[in-house]
């Protein structure tokens, strides 16, 4: 299984379909920026300098009355809940969040399958639960199932052996 940015693709497709008019950003840094940096460099430069240390939510959609913090997961679904609960208090402290003027924040977890336990936990934590599936996700799920088989491990070992012989990274 080659490394592909599947979750980036997933959130991009979700946002395009859910918000065709736009009004969203992907991979948004959240949280405060040290005031001394803002004072010295200005908000834009300070945000750029501090960006590597800030947590990032998959997407933020905005309306005039509220923002939606969106986390999309193809697997490790419970991690999405923890991520959103972590991002929630950081969002109002984000000085460079476009057009933010104190609007309410909503949280949304996007997953490809309806799982009752996940629906229950998101509901208990005031997180919206969205199901978004695409045809390519079934192939990804099959790849994941095969990843730990002996056949796959042998094929992977052979590929690595050939790369080493050929001097290819």
pLDDT of residue 1: 41
- What is the C-alpha R_g of the chain? 20
Contacts of 102 (CB under 8 A, 6+ apart): 92
Give the residue among 32, 72, 70, 36 at the shortest CA–CA distance from 53: 32
pTM for the model: 0.80
Range 132-155 average pLDDT: 74
pLDDT in tens, 78-136: 999 999 999 999 999 998 888 888 899 999 999 999 999 999 999 999 999 999 988 88
Give the residue among 142, 62, 140, 49 at the shortest CA–CA distance from 108: 62
Q: Residue 62, SS3?
A: strand
pLDDT of residue 147: 64
pLDDT of residue 153: 76
In what helix (H) or strand (E) does residue 24 lie, and over which residues does it extend? Answer: strand 24-30
pLDDT in tens, 23-59: 999 999 999 999 999 999 998 899 999 888 999 999 9
């Amino acid at each position: 299984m080659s490394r592909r940015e599947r979750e980036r693709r997933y959130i991009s497709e979700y946002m395009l379909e859910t918000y065709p008019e736009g009004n969203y950003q992907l991979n948004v840094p959240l949280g405060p920026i040290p005031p001394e940096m803002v004072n010295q460099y200005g908000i834009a430069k300070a945000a750029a300098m501090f960006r590597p240390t800030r947590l990032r939510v998959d997407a933020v959609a905005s309306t005039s009355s509220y923002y939606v913090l969106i986390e999309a997961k193809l697997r490790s679904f419970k991690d999405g809940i923890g991520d959103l609960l972590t991002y929630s208090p950081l969002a109002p402290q984000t000085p460079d969040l476009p057009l933010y003027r104190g609007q309410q924040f909503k949280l949304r977890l996007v997953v490809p399958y309806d799982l009752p336990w996940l629906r229950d936990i998101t509901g208990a934590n005031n997180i919206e639960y969205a199901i978004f599936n695409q045809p390519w996700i079934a192939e990804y799920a099959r790849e994941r199932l095969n990843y730990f088989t002996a056949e796959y491990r042998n094929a992977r070992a052979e590929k690595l052996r050939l790369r080493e012989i050929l001097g290819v990274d």
